[in-house]
């Protein structure tokens, strides 16, 4: 499964610009769209899920390798930094290395998970992918980062939530294996946003109240009127820009977008379950990777989710997880119920 961070609707908007001043941006967006489409046409083979005993292995240290393609698209590229080696001075290399470490730390320390697959999977990432490449993606086995076009996007290693997001697609791949289409696909994207912000909050030791709840904060250049790709706390408010347009994410089922584009709107409708998680975390207070994170992690990994899961089925599963972990009369259970009611997903 190929999962990229920049929504196709954003790339299509950029690709449609005809003004001479936006020629580079439009070309970069078109190439990114074509590239992701070509990758998705050649789907990765299903990845075997480790045996339960392997998944429960005590977390060990990360095993990171960063590669550099030198602006080509030949993966993985030349190895430029390995585990326990010093910083290189290349910002993209060192940011990727540090972000992989922070992602590993969240799963190990908060959820006792041994890397992405639960069995100590090596964490590989490639930087300097392509020319003016406006995206980052998980290709089923590793992370890949472009350097951006310099006018709309900075390099994609600048945002810790982006790295956490993409690696979380790997966790979903090894656990619930949610289909990448319609509501199941939006849940797949949402789970990556949830664990992407948890990686960032855990690394910064931020409480739910202190956190920005933004996905891709720091990716936009100063030319863009916007804070990030998405806002989990307030879907639809992340950006409002003459070139990019306005953030189209809905924040409740009243505004659910029915579309055949982007595999049935996987990047756009993820705003609804995203907001539900943020509401739970803000209602409970403290650290979002604790009670809220455990409810969502248990739901993702306990085998209760069908591949074609709907929002309603997922909401019921989170409520069941809250009951299992904290009890039916707990504040956690109440917060989960109220959150789904607020975003108008029927329980």
Residue 141 has pLDDT above 70, yes or no: yes
Mean pLDDT check: name the lowest of 1-15, 109-123, 175-189, 293-307: 1-15
pLDDT of residue 46: 46
pLDDT of residue 58: 84
Residue 28 has pLDDT above 70, yes or no: yes
User: Quick one: angle between helices 291-301 and 182-204, nearest 10?
Assistant: 140
Residue 161 has pLDDT above 80, yes or no: yes
Question: What is the per-residue burial (b if ≥16 Cβ within 10 Å, else e) of 318-344?
Answer: bbbbbbeebeeeeebbbbbbebbeebe
Q: Note the pLDDT tens digit of each residue in 187-239.
A: 999 999 999 999 999 999 999 999 999 999 999 999 999 999 999 999 999 99
pLDDT of residue 3: 83
Residue 42 has pLDDT above 80, yes or no: no
Reported residue count of the chain is 347
Domains and CATH numbers, the chain: 48-174 (3.10.170.10), 182-342 (1.10.390.10)
Please give the Cα distance from 72 to 126 (Å, whole number).
11
pLDDT band at 140 (very low <50, low <70, confident <90, very high): confident
The β-bridge partners of 231 are: 214
Record the pTM. 0.94
pLDDT band at 134 (very low <50, low <70, confident <90, very high): very high
pLDDT of residue 48: 46
pLDDT of residue 44: 43
Q: Note the pLDDT tens digit of each residue in 238-294.
A: 999 999 999 999 999 999 999 999 999 999 999 999 999 999 999 999 999 999 999
| Number of Cβ atoms within 10 Å of the Cβ of 91 | 14
Asked if residue 229 lies in contact with residue 219, where contact means CB atoms within 8 angstroms, the answer is yes
Q: Note the pLDDT tens digit of each residue in 53-62.
A: 444 568 999 9
**Which position has the higher pLDDT, 157 or 44?**
157
Residue 180 has pLDDT above 80, yes or no: yes
Q: Note the pLDDT tens digit of each residue in 63-73.
A: 999 999 999 99
Question: What is the per-residue burial (b if ≥16 Cβ within 10 Å, else e) of 46-69?
Answer: eeeebeeeebeeebeebbbbbbbb
Asked if residue 281 lies in contact with residue 208, where contact means CB atoms within 8 angstroms, the answer is yes
pLDDT of residue 50: 45
Mean pLDDT of 19-30: 92
**Which position has the higher pLDDT, 164 or 40?**
164
pLDDT band at 186 (very low <50, low <70, confident <90, very high): very high
Mean pLDDT of 79-104: 98
Q: Which residues are catalytic?
A: 166, 267
Run of H or E including 146: strand 143-146
pLDDT of residue 66: 98
pLDDT band at 110 (very low <50, low <70, confident <90, very high): very high
Average pLDDT along the chain: 93
Residue 105 has pLDDT above 90, yes or no: yes
**Which position has the higher pLDDT, 232 or 44?**
232
pLDDT of residue 165: 96
Mean pLDDT of 8-12: 93
């Amino acid at each position: 499964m190929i999962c990229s961070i920049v929504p196709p609707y954003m790339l299509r908007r950029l690709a449609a610009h005809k003004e001479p001043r936006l020629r580079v941006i439009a070309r970069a967006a078109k190439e990114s769209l074509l590239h992701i489409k070509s990758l998705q046409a050649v789907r990765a083979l299903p990845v075997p899920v480790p045996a339960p005993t392997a998944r429960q292995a005590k977390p060990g240290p990360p095993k990171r390798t960063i590669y550099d393609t030198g602006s080509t698209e030949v993966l993985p590229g030349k190895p430029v930094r390995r585990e326990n080696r010093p910083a290189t001075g290349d910002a993209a290399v060192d940011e990727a290395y540090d972000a992989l470490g922070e992602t590993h730390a969240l799963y190990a320390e908060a959820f006792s998970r041994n890397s992405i697959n639960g069995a100590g999977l090596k964490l590989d990432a490639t930087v300097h992918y392509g020319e003016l490449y406006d995206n980052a993606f998980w290709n089923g086995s590793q992370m890949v980062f472009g350097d951006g076009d310099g006018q709309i996007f900075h390099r994609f290693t600048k945002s810790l939530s982006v790295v956490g997001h993409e690696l979380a697609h790997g966790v979903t791949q090894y656990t619930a294996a949610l289909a990448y289409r319609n509501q199941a696909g939006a849940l797949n994207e949402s789970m990556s946003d949830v664990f992407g912000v948890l990686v960032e909050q855990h690394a910064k030791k931020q409480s739910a109240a202190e956190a920005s709840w933004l996905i891709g904060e720091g990716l936009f250049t100063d030319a863009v009127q916007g804070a990030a790709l998405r806002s989990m706390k307030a879907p639809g408010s992340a950006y409002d820009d003459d070139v990019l347009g306005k953030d189209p994410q809905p924040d409740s089922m009243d505004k659910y977008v029915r579309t055949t584009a982007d595999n049935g709107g996987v990047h756009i409708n993820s705003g609804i379950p995203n907001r539900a998680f943020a509401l739970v975390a803000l209602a409970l207070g403290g650290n979002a990777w604790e009670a809220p994170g455990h409810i969502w992690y248990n739901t993702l990994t306990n085998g209760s989710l069908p591949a074609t899961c709907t929002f309603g089925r997922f909401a019921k599963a989170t409520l069941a997880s809250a009951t299992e972990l904290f009890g039916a009369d707990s504040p956690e259970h109440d917060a989960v119920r109220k959150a789904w009611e607020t975003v108008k997903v029927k329980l």
